[in-house]
Amino acid sequence: MTPEKHYVGDDPVFVMDVPNQESWIGQLGEEISKHRSRFRNSHKINGRWENSYLDIDVVPSAKIPMRFARTAAIEILGMHSVLLFEPLPGSKESLPPFWFNIAKPGEITGLHDHANLSALSAVVYIQADSNAGNLYFEKDPGIEVIPEPGKIVLFPPHLKHGVQENQSNEERISLAFNLFPFPLPMQNL
């Protein structure tokens, strides 16, 4: 596992391909398509649902890139982390710490960061044509990542990032998630 390593300020960002893409990307795409009517959405920005959630039992193929990210965190950063498929225990959050972003042509994902209790954040592309909108990190120096199916990006959860306008003719579909420190932080202690 040899990732591309970039820096956004002093923070590392790792870009690599999840192996065996032919065995999970198509399956995950089918699972998402089959269960779109079951999406739970968190909030709208610029008229589009920013995050769409499904239970892991209907998108089991999502576990493949998520487990890859957990292994990469150990091998690259020496970071032991926990994958959660349900909300963090003791949390007031009712949605799981993984979600799908589906951007139609002309849509963007606004600048944001991720959960403050997480140790590492990730995004993996399920569907992305050329000109589907680059992931960008705003800090000096900033970087851009061109989305490609099977590409995964690992980054510190506090880094502000967004996605440029989808200028392709197809939806851009990604899976984003957070890895949590081990042992898990307990909010109600």
**pTM of the complete model:** 0.92
Superfamily of domain 4-181: q2cbj1_9rhob like domain (2.60.120.620)
Calpha distance 159→153 (Å, rounded): 12
The predicted-structure confidence for 121-170, as pLDDT tens digits, reads as follows: 999 999 999 899 999 998 767 799 999 999 999 999 999 999 999 999 99
How do 48-49 and 44-45 pair as beta strands?
antiparallel
Around Cβ 119, how many Cβ atoms within 10 Å?
Answer: 19
Number of residues written out for the chain: 189
Mean pLDDT along residues 59-80: 95
In a 13 Å sphere around the CA of 45, the CA atoms on its Cβ side amount to 15
Rg (alpha carbons) of the chain, rounded to whole number: 16
187 pLDDT higher than 80: no
Strand partners, 151: 17
